[in-house]
């Protein structure tokens, strides 16, 4: 009998990496995504679009705590130095879950590289067109990942040069 379950062995290997996005929080709720999508469409490529909005729209100011002895909750002022990022990969454009998850991993990985160059705003990267299934036969091939990564590098490079999205922190 094994002492360690099979699934736990993957965490012990060196091949597993956790990519942390510095100074960027992930969007989690539907209203946060809707607020970011309602903002300006910043940059587009063939398959991706980057939407952006002010952080105050994503994290509205909270009311002060009624009890003076309570610990204050996280407010929008505390999040002013942080950015927020979300990834939208609809089933319409990526039918298989393997493909959607691979694309989302690429989005978060590339955004970690460009996080210091983007202003602290709410950003959503949205897949807006399907990758050709005749060219990318496998649901999660190295060729598909390379194509997604190169287009995302182009998207974030253009976003960092955009006057409202990039060129340093405000």
CA pair distance 40, 113, nearest whole angstrom: 22
pLDDT over 70 (residue 158): yes
pLDDT at 23: 62
pLDDT at 170: 43
Name the more confident of 133 and 68: 133
Name the more confident of 155 and 67: 155
pLDDT at 81: 54
pLDDT at 86: 94
pLDDT at 21: 45
pLDDT at 124: 95
Measured in whole angstroms, the distance separating CA 38 from the mean position of its chain's CA atoms is 17
- Yes or no: domain 22-161 corresponds to CATH 3.30.230.10: yes
Structure confidence by residue, pLDDT tens digits, 65-113: 555 555 444 544 444 456 899 999 999 999 999 999 999 999 999 999 9
CA pair distance 134, 155, nearest whole angstrom: 24
Averaged pLDDT, 13-19: 51
Tokens of 93: 């454009």
CA pair distance 94, 140, nearest whole angstrom: 11
Tokens of 140: 């999660």
pLDDT at 44: 94
pLDDT band at 50 (very low <50, low <70, confident <90, very high): very high
Q: How many CA atoms lie within 13 A of 39 on its CB side?
A: 24
Read off φ and ψ for residue 151, nearest 5 degrees: -70, -35
CA pair distance 125, 107, nearest whole angstrom: 7
pLDDT at 139: 87
Averaged pLDDT, 15-30: 69
3-state DSSP of the chain? CCCCCHHHHHHHCCCCCCCCCCCEEECCCHHHHHHHHHCEEEEECCCEEEEEECHHHHCCCCCCCCCCCCCCCCCCCCCCCCEEEEEECCCCCCCCHHHHHHHHHHHHHHHHHHHHHCCCCEEEEEECCCCCCCCCCCCCCHHHHHHHHHHHHHHHHHHHHCCCCCCCCC
Q: Where are the domains of the chain?
A: 22-161
pLDDT over 70 (residue 1): no
pLDDT over 50 (residue 13): no
């Amino acid at each position: 009998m094994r002492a360690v379950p099979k699934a736990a062995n993957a965490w012990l290997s060196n091949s597993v990496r956790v990519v942390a996005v510095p100074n960027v929080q992930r969007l989690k709720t539907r209203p946060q995504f809707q607020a970011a999508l309602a903002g300006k469409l910043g940059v587009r490529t063939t398959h991706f679009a980057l939407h952006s909005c002010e952080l105050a729209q994503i994290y509205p100011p909270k009311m002060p705590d009624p009890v003076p002895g309570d610990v204050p909750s996280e407010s929008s002022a505390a999040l002013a130095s942080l950015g927020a990022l979300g990834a939208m990969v609809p089933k319409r454009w990526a039918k298989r879950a393997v493909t959607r998850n691979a694309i989302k991993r690429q989005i978060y990985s590339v955004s970690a590289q460009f996080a210091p160059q983007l202003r602290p705003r709410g950003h959503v990267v949205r897949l807006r067109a399907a990758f050709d299934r005749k060219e990318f036969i496998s649901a999660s091939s190295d060729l598909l990942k390379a194509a997604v990564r190169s287009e995302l590098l182009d998207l974030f490079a253009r976003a960092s040069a955009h006057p409202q999205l990039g060129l340093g922190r405000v």
